[in-house]
């Protein structure tokens, strides 16, 4: 099994629109591991996938 990690930066105003819960639920749906966090530029997403 091969794992790949992606770091994604979403820039702009994201507070108050439900973006982090949306990403969390999407990741759960596809059984992905990682985290979603706010930072000074917007939202940072780090996700790890398992590829066979």
Give the contacts of 38 (CB within 8 A, at least 6 positions apart).
14, 15, 20, 44
Distance, in Å, from the CA atom of 52 to the CA atom of 50, rounded to the nearest integer, reads 7
Domains of the chain: 2-51 (3.30.70.100)
State residue 1's pLDDT score.
Answer: 66
Q: What is the mean pLDDT of the chain?
A: 84
pLDDT digits (tens, 9 = 90+) for 26-49: 988 988 899 988 888 888 999 988
End-to-end CA distance of the chain: 5
Give the contacts of 52 (CB within 8 A, at least 6 positions apart).
1, 2
Report how far apart, in Å, the C-alpha atoms of 1 and of each of 24, 27, 49 are: 24, 19, 10
């Amino acid at each position: 099994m091969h794992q790949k990690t992606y770091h994604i930066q979403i820039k702009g105003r994201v507070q108050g629109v439900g973006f982090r819960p949306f990403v969390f639920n999407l990741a759960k749906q596809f059984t992905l591991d990682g985290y979603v966090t706010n930072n000074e530029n917007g939202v940072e997403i780090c996700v790890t996938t398992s590829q066979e």
